[in-house]
Amino acid sequence: MPQTRSDDLAPLSVSGTPEEKFREFLEIRGEKLTEPRRVLVRHIFSSHKHFDADELVRDLHEAGHAISRATVYRTLRLLVEAGLLRELRLTNRSAYEHDYGYPAHDHMHCTVCNRVIEFRNEDIRQTRDAISRAHGFRPSGHRFVIEGVCSECSRAHTPRRRLDLI
């Protein structure tokens, strides 16, 4: 899935690696960091991109890792619960992205090419905080996704007939 990342979304300095944090999370639950889970965490955090479960399964198999689809789905759910990944519910699927070690941000999703564009906007955060204060609410975060058509897809699908412009 193509994506764009703004310069102000560089990784943050964190106290431990995603693998260490996941191991701690699993230990608290009485579970182990198995080799397939370790491979998944290393693969997912080796680059910053948005992906869905099917893309991850395909990428792992292309990299020579024989990890079952069921293990991928269960591990993705655990990584979200652990706060290492964030699930983005898009128009027709769920995508995942790094949560641990990355600043809070929002998204635009092109419904034509599936591109996800990340951005930060202080006005959105201030509006969230003002609304929360007015209602006596303490926010822990928010999810804001703008659905639409990116500039590249808009140019590629420029109307050719005058009636299409209406």
Q: How many CA atoms lie within 13 A of 105 on its CB side?
A: 23
Q: Cα(140)–Cα(41) distance, rounded to whole angstroms?
A: 25
On whether 7 is known to bind a ligand per the annotation, the reply is no
On whether 157 is known to bind a ligand per the annotation, the reply is no
On whether 142 is known to bind a ligand per the annotation, the reply is yes
On whether 153 is known to bind a ligand per the annotation, the reply is yes
Q: Which two tokens stand for residue 14?
A: 């964190």
Return the biggest CA–CA distance within the chain.
65
What residues contact residue 155 under an 8 Å CB cut-off, 6+ apart? none
CB 97 within 8 A of CB 4: no
On whether 105 is known to bind a ligand per the annotation, the reply is no
* Binding-site annotation, residues for Fe cation: 106, 142
* Binding-site annotation, residues: 106, 110, 113, 142, 150, 153
* Binding-site annotation, residues for Zn(2+): 110, 113, 150, 153
